[in-house]
Chain A
């Protein structure tokens, strides 16, 4: 079973800065079957990125995904206060579906 490890730990950045979030898999993820979800406080998650680098509908281009194999990255450029959230990576393409433990991002 794949294990997804996200880093860094809680992240605190200022508006306008860039955030780099990492998701490392214990095995190679085939066909870049990796997604990123954002969960704001008190809300359900929402899909940001799928296929490692494709933005979901309505997601601004400040959000970008990259990587392949077992190392994937979510970059959020020009941070805004509303980007404060927990970000989860998700492996799909086979069961069990696996989530990373999440990275908490605070915009101070």
Chain B
């Protein structure tokens, strides 16, 4: 079955960087777009970024544009989220999700917690 396993979360100071990884298995990774969704403590879900199946197109939520970069390595079945210039408001659980089609989220990872604090 589909498995999405995130890693790379942790505690980081404001202004610093962090890279999240998501290892995918159980499906043909190169055929699916992938996305990141986050959830601040006690809050709702917020879409962060998406990348097409071949990596040719990316899109971002406005508050992370210019700071976050989504990428993928189809040879390693892995999608990444490079997060630079982190802010306290980026503190959240970050979920790796599969894009079933046209942005439909059809599978979720278990999430990795990012805490931005001095």
Contacts and interface: CB of A to CB of B under 8 A. Distances in A.
Contact of A101 (B35, B44, B47, B50): B44
Chain B interface size, under 10 / 10 to 19 / 20 to 34 / 35 or more: 20 to 34
A92 B44 contact: no
A44 B110 contact: yes
Interface stretch (A10-18, A45-53, A62-70): A45-53
User: Which secondary structure characterizes the binding site on chain A?
Assistant: loop
Interface string B95-115: 100001011111111110000
Q: Is the interface of B mostly helix, strand, loop or mixed?
A: strand
Nearest to B110: A44
Contacts of A45: 45, 95, 108
Nearest to B98: A47
Interface of B: 35, 44-47, 50, 59, 61-62, 95, 100, 102-111
